[in-house]
Structure 1
């Protein structure tokens, strides 16, 4: 019996933290809601350090392999006579590392905390019952070994194709000469270069949170954040299997039992390009008493895969299916809250599930292309355009315009990330373009040239005082604007776009344009990465 247990300890996951449970006490004998970091014994501690250094060296050599191979080739080391000794050396190193792993297993086998954990893990894998899962939730460990809690196969999603992949709208192809075989051959180098850029540094620049070195650097912070969610908010960690096979790491905090006014509303949070649910925007709705479901992008923390748009959509789809079919929420009780690049999955969600209650987009943009062009040389413009449209087409505004429900945009007036010329030029903030595109789609007769000019005048205000001054200078009558919209909504179909304003005087259209802009967008005087306080998290405006 001892040999199989030792074998499990050798190949078992790394245990990071023990969350307190009724049958456990801290190593110092104290009790309380807080857990404690797992304390490996001397043998396990040192062998684990050796294996950690080996893993880091392997990662560095993997990323630097093109340069390393070129160097070895120029020095004449890549030849049959020298490859044999190198292969023997590599084999010796692998045998030594296997021996170190066996010694680490021996150290774990002598630790009662690890033995208890590995026993619970094996029992949960065999019999995934709620009681076993509750016991397993008392431990934080390598998420790759966490048993799956929900799969897209458990439900039939109407958003999936026959092959089981959630579909993104493809870019329209131009007819005529552009489709010719000759043009395909001519543009082949551009396609190859775009592919290489996207799958090398391009994807990592866009989603730095998927870089192993960054994750390794902030892992203590992530462990602290996860411990807070589990121990203070009684969060439940779940592994979801998306339709592309990626494993999505999620955290759910249930407030329905508390009886608060917001507990029955579920806020699904979509993080930024270097954000994780452990330390990201999930904390804002938690402060407001909402039930909250956070998830990590593919390739972030415990989630597997790569954060390409299709994978992002697949992850968002399984998160929504989990919320509805496993957690028991109705789509009409779900609010999507996104920060920065998370606006892509948020707008995909409300486009694909129009019954969702509302969406809040904080510091988000309309389209990735203008932001990509600002950081690349002008001579690269055609290549950047092709690469973004082909592989990283984050077209938030286009997706948002297909949603009929309430929307709130939060613009950060000192944003330094989603501006194309700098934080001092507030009119280069791409949140402005997101608002204008949404209003132009929903209210085309109001957002004429004069209406757009009035809204741009209001958007140019850098302080709340200036904003109020511009709004008052147009003598906007809120009650009149509300009555006009309510009258239109009562007499006609409520699906956007609306034709309200087509027979309206110039002054009326300006008032209505500013009234709508003021209802759809709120300013927050801060920079891009400042956490949003709960005082700035509002329910989107709804005409009533």
Structure 2
């Protein structure tokens, strides 16, 4: 038995912290000590440091292997006479590292805190009882060892398969058979370059939070943020398995038992391209008293995979299914809140689940392509267009319609205009678009109010017109309201709807939204 436990210590995960929730602090009388960092003993500490350096050197060698192999080949080191000594040397190194790992296991075996942790982890893997899960959540450790809490296979959804959820695809251009073949041959070099760009620096530029070096630099901050969510808000960490096999790291804070009305609503947060639930936009709805479910993009934090659109949508789907089938929320109780690039998964969610209560987009955009073209050289335009549409098609506005210093350059404004044009085409004629653009071009709240009052918008009249139309027809969007209306009436309705659909909050892009500015969307 002792030998088996020692082996578990050798193969076990790296332990970071022992959490203590508010409930535990009350029951054991240690309210002043919510949690503490795990303190390895001397032997474990030094052996862990050696293995850490070995892992870093291996990663460096792996990524630099093409250049390293070329250098060794030019120097004549790649030959049978010299490969044998090298292999013998590498074998010796591996044996030494194995010995170091065994010593680290010995050091862990002598540490009562680690022994208690590994015993709880093994018990949880064998028996997924609520009590075991509650005990294992008191520890912060390598998430790859975390037991599964929910899988897409638990949901009987005939539309879902390992191929993934459905995404909107760009419409193909119609061509003749011969022309299509010739065009494919002609564009083959561009396709190859596009694939390499998307799967190398392109994806990392779009989602810098997936870069391991950045995550390593942010690790202390992420651990501190996670400890705060667990120890101050009694957050529950869960591992979800998406249909593509990616493991999604989530954090749930339940406010339903607090008795407040906002606590009955679940806000699912979709982070930005360098955001993590540990330090991201979860704080805004938390301060507002809502129940909150945060999750990390594939390749971010504890989540596995890479954040391409298909993987992102697959992750969003399993998060929603988890909220419904395991946490017990109805779709009508769920609000999707997204910051920046998180608008893609948020708009996909409301397109795929139209019963969702509402959507809040913070500093998002309508389409990635205009932003990508803006920062890339003009000579790269065909390559950028193909790469974005083929591999990174973040078409927020298109999904939303299905279910800089100049304020007018804000892509969020284009998102608003496209949505209003789709829902109210008779109101959002050329004149309606013009007055809304004038309102969007205001530089402050006073100028906004001046534009609004200048067109003498009567809010009560606008509400009555829309309510009458809804009562008489009760149809889905788009609405034909405004087709028999005067130009002045259409202007009023256009400005009224624009102000109801969008709120302007003056800040920089990376500033979190204050809880006072987080509101449930307007309902007629």
CA distance in 2, matches of 1:273, 1:51: 31
Aligned CA distance change for structure 1 residues 459 and 93 (closer, same or farther; 3 Å): same
**2:277 aligned residue:** 277
**What SS does structure 1 have at the residue aligned with 2:164?**
coil
CA contact (8 A) 1:271 1:277 kept: yes
CA distance in 1, matches of 2:357, 2:71: 57
| Bigger proportion of residues as helix | 2
1:172 aligns with 2:153: no
1:492 to 473, 481, 484: 473
C-alpha displacement of 1:89: 2.6
The range that moved more, 50-59 or 86-95, is 86-95
C-alpha displacement of 1:33: 5.3
CA distance in 2, matches of 1:432, 1:311: 28
CA distance in 1, matches of 2:419, 2:78: 58
CA distance in 2, matches of 1:229, 1:351: 30
Aligned CA distance change for structure 1 residues 21 and 514 (closer, same or farther; 3 Å): closer
C-alpha displacement of 1:481: 1.2
C-alpha displacement of 1:62: 2.6
C-alpha displacement of 1:31: 5.0
1:441 to 406, 414, 422: 422
CA contact (8 A) 1:33 1:232 kept: no
**What SS does structure 2 have at the residue aligned with 1:361?**
strand
C-alpha displacement of 1:23: 12
User: 1:171-197 CA deviation, whole Å, 9 max, x = no partner?
Assistant: 222221486212111111111111100
CA distance in 1, matches of 2:68, 2:418: 48
CA distance in 1, matches of 2:416, 2:519: 17
C-alpha displacement of 1:462: 1.6
CA distance in 2, matches of 1:39, 1:454: 63
Equivalence map 1:20-419=2 (5 Å)? 20=20, 32=32, 34-157=34-157, 159-161=159-161, 163=162, 165-177=164-176, 180-403=180-403
2:459 to 478, 491, 507: 478
C-alpha displacement of 1:510: 1.3
CA distance in 1, matches of 2:500, 2:210: 36
**What SS does structure 1 have at the residue aligned with 2:263?**
coil
The range that moved more, 142-151 or 65-74, is 65-74
Aligned CA distance change for structure 1 residues 341 and 56 (closer, same or farther; 3 Å): same
C-alpha displacement of 1:278: 0.6
**1:408 aligned residue:** none
Aligned CA distance change for structure 1 residues 81 and 449 (closer, same or farther; 3 Å): farther
CA contact (8 A) 1:152 1:241 kept: yes
CA contact (8 A) 2:365 2:412 kept: yes
Equivalence map 1:413-428=2 (5 Å)? 423-428=404-409
The range that moved more, 338-347 or 79-88, is 79-88
Displaced runs of 4 or more, over 6 A: 21-25
CA contact (8 A) 2:21 2:231 kept: no
C-alpha displacement of 1:30: 5.8
Give the structure-1-normalised TM-score.
0.93
CA distance in 2, matches of 1:491, 1:465: 37
1:458 aligns with 2:439: yes
C-alpha displacement of 1:205: 0.7
CA distance in 1, matches of 2:266, 2:341: 21
The range that moved more, 34-43 or 63-72, is 63-72
CA contact (8 A) 1:177 1:183 kept: no
Aligned CA distance change for structure 1 residues 24 and 541 (closer, same or farther; 3 Å): closer
1:511 to 479, 484, 492: 492
C-alpha displacement of 1:336: 0.4
CA distance in 1, matches of 2:268, 2:22: 30
CA distance in 1, matches of 2:21, 2:399: 44
CA distance in 2, matches of 1:229, 1:342: 21
CA distance in 1, matches of 2:476, 2:100: 65
CA contact (8 A) 1:33 1:231 kept: no
**What SS does structure 2 have at the residue aligned with 1:243?**
coil
User: 1:483-523 CA deviation, whole Å, 9 max, x = no partner?
Assistant: 11111111113310111111212121111111111111111
How big is the alpha-carbon RMSD for the aligned residues of Structure 1 and Structure 2?
1.7
C-alpha displacement of 1:164: 5.4
CA contact (8 A) 1:20 1:32 kept: no
User: 1:221-247 CA deviation, whole Å, 9 max, x = no partner?
Assistant: 111111111111111111101001111
**1:468 aligned residue:** 449
**1:539 aligned residue:** 520
**What SS does structure 2 have at the residue aligned with 1:268?**
strand
Give the structure-2-normalised TM-score.
0.96
C-alpha displacement of 1:384: 0.4
CA distance in 2, matches of 1:173, 1:230: 48
Unaligned runs of 5+ in 2: none
**What SS does structure 1 have at the residue aligned with 2:3?**
helix
CA contact (8 A) 1:159 1:352 kept: no
CA distance in 2, matches of 1:69, 1:451: 64
